[in-house]
Every structure is written in structure tokens, then in C-alpha cells.
């Protein structure tokens, strides 16, 4: 096993989409703080994507195939392709932001920790979606899909389950799960316990509620498994 993370890497640049949609449409801009708290005991969250958008847009639909961009987020923790897709949808998207990627490793959201991002919406861009990969999983992610933004200075809280993108078989092997610092993956030649990034495919073919970790590969179910929800997402309108 390689000592470094392979081509499927979570180390991607942070991104933000300018407010061209809101400004061009003459919409009144509103500011929101989005705080994501990791409720699991043994999973970390990769860079977190937050987008404001119009009613009727969804990052995914349960029971239907994931987009290639969502697949990249769910398998690699890489928000870049989904940010690029959303940035082209100026009639749908208000703003897109993505939290910074490692290094340092504390940019990953560890169990019990929180991260806060600021995003802008307003007018017809009155929905918000949030998503990030869970590591170590093959293609697991949490998401809030098209929640309604507060219409007055207020705070709402949404609890998010873990989803399976259905794009990769859940073999739970170090070789096919990207990310740093998995104790189950540590060997004399890989003392840091870095995962790999092999794309094993053979998924279910549709997005569904994740069934958790079962210890079928290298990963310890007693350490890594969870019960939903896995994330608390607090959305506060600040202006």
C-alpha cells in the first residue's frame, strides 16, 4: 500500500461562486451562517459544500443514479466538479462555497467538532443544500437537500442522515477508501495509516440510505459504524 493518498484525493482547493446570480437578477441579498456538527463517533467529514438555490433543484434524488459530480464528492471527498457544475447554473444557483481542504488535517471535521461557513441567498434563491463525504467509507456522504432558508432573522436546525451514492461496492478496504490517518490501515510501510483510492465500482446504481459499516474489509465496525443522523446543520440568517 502506498504511503500517500492516490489520485482519488480529498486534498482539493476551496471554492466559492461569486454572487452573479443574485446581483444579475436584482435580488435582495441575505447572509447565512451554516454550522455543521459531526455527530458520529468514528467518521470524519471531508470538505463541505454549501449551495443556495431555487426551489425545485436537488443535488440528488433517492432511488435514482448519482451524478458524476456527486459521485466524485462521495467517493473522493472532492467538491471541485460539483462546484464547477453549479457555477454554470446561474439561473438556479445563488452562491456555492466549499470549506478548505487539508492540509492541515484539522480542516477535516472530526467527530464532535463543528465548522461554520457563510453563504449568501435571497429572493428566489431560498433553498439550501449541504453535502460532504464521510471517511472512512467507500461512497458515503451526508446531505441536506433543498432545505428552506429562514425568511426572517432566525435559526433553523436540520439533522442529516448518511447516504450511499450507490456508485461503489462497500468493500471497506484501505486500498479503496481515500483519506489520512486510519488506524486500521497502519503498517510498517504505511505508519500514518493513509488510505488508497482504487475505484472498485460495482455499486447499487442508485442513491440510498447508507447501511453503515459492517467490518467486511479492513475497517472496524465497532469503531466506524453509526446510527443516523450523522450531522447537525444549523442555518442562521444574519442579515
pLDDT tens-digit readout, 102-154: 989 999 999 999 999 999 999 999 999 999 999 999 999 999 999 999 988 88
Contact 109, 131 (CB under 8 A): no
- 221: part of which helix (H) or strand (E)? helix 221-224
> Which pLDDT score, from 0 to 100, does residue 44 have?
98
Residue 155 lies in a domain: yes
Q: Is the predicted pLDDT of residue 2 greater than 50, yes or no?
A: no
> Which pLDDT score, from 0 to 100, does residue 21 have?
52
Cell of 74: 462521495
How many domains is the chain built from?
1
Cell of 94: 445563488
Contact 21, 207 (CB under 8 A): no
DSSP lists the bridge partners of residue 162 as 142
Q: Is the predicted pLDDT of residue 4 greater than 60, yes or no?
A: no
pTM (2 decimals)? Answer: 0.91
Residue 31: domain span: 15-170+204-237
pLDDT tens-digit readout, 164-196: 999 999 999 999 999 999 999 999 999 999 998
The domain that contains 231 carries what CATH number? 2.60.40.2130
Residue 1 lies in a domain: no
- 130: part of which helix (H) or strand (E)? strand 127-135
Contact 37, 113 (CB under 8 A): yes
Residue 215 lies in a domain: yes
Residue 29 lies in a domain: yes
Amino acid at each position: 500500500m502506498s504511503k500517500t493518498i492516490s489520485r482519488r484525493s480529498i486534498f482539493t482547493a476551496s471554492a466559492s461562486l461569486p454572487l452573479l446570480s443574485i446581483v444579475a437578477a436584482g435580488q435582495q441579498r441575505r447572509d447565512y451562517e451554516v454550522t455543521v456538527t459531526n455527530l458520529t463517533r468514528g467518521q470524519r467529514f471531508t470538505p463541505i459544500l454549501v449551495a443556495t438555490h431555487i426551489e425545485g433543484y436537488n443535488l440528488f434524488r433517492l432511488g435514482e443514479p448519482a451524478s458524476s459530480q456527486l459521485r466524485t464528492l462521495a467517493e473522493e471527498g472532492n467538491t471541485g466538479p460539483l462546484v464547477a457544475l453549479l457555477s454554470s447554473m446561474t439561473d438556479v444557483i445563488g452562491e456555492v462555497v466549499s470549506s478548505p481542504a487539508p492540509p492541515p488535517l484539522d480542516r477535516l471535521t472530526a467527530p464532535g467538532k463543528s465548522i461554520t461557513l457563510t453563504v449568501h441567498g435571497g429572493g428566489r434563491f431560498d433553498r439550501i443544500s449541504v453535502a460532504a463525504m464521510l471517511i472512512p467509507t467507500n461512497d458515503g456522504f451526508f446531505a441536506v437537500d433543498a432545505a428552506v432558508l429562514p425568511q426572517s432573522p432566525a435559526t433553523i436546525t436540520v439533522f442529516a442522515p448518511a447516504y450511499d451514492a450507490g456508485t461503489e461496492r462497500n468493500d471497506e478496504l484501505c486500498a479503496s477508501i481515500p483519506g489520512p490517518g486510519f488506524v486500521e490501515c497502519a503498517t510498517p510501510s504505511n505508519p500514518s495509516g493513509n488510505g488508497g483510492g482504487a475505484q472498485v465500482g460495482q455499486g447499487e446504481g442508485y442513491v440510498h440510505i447508507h447501511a453503515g459499516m459492517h467490518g467486511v474489509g479492513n475497517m472496524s465496525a465497532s469503531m466506524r459504524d453509526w446510527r443516523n443522523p450523522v450531522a447537525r446543520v444549523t442555518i442562521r440568517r444574519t442579515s
